[in-house]
């Protein structure tokens, strides 16, 4: 799931101390946008929950253009919305992996018995 890797990178960008909040959101938003290319593999629930972040980040066209035109308070709120979505996606992926391993342990065997 390449999309999850982009969501992890988005979370890292938002958590970084480098740059200002607007720049961090712009970088995280770009990663989120790349993750959307894998959204067909997401659960229906995750797809539905992504709509809010997508509508905020692409409201004025590109991520860069949208974030550049946001008010400062909107930057913070959108960053928190995106962070919450990314963390939820991570929990969902971990839960799916555990369920998959419980159902059939062989695919989850690390080979270090």
Residue ranges of the domains in the chain?
Answer: 2-94
- Average pLDDT of span 33-44: 91
Highest mean pLDDT among 58-62, 89-93, 98-102: 58-62
Compute the C-alpha angle 16/38/42, nearest 5°: 95
pLDDT band per the 50, 70, 90 thresholds, residue 110 = very low
Q: At what angle do helices 21-35 and 2-15 cross, to 10 degrees?
A: 170
**More confident: 90 or 62:** 62
């Amino acid at each position: 799931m390449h999309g999850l890797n982009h969501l992890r990178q988005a979370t890292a960008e938002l958590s970084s101390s480098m740059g200002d909040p607007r720049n961090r959101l712009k970088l995280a938003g770009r990663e989120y946008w790349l993750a959307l290319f894998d959204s067909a593999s997401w659960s229906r629930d995750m797809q539905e929950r992504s709509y809010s972040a997508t509508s905020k980040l692409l409201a004025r066209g590109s991520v860069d253009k949208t974030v550049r035109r946001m008010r400062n308070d909107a930057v913070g709120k959108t960053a928190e919305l995106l962070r919450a979505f990314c963390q939820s996606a991570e929990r969902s992926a971990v839960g799916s992996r555990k369920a998959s391993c419980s159902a059939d342990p062989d695919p989850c065997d690390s080979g270090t018995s």
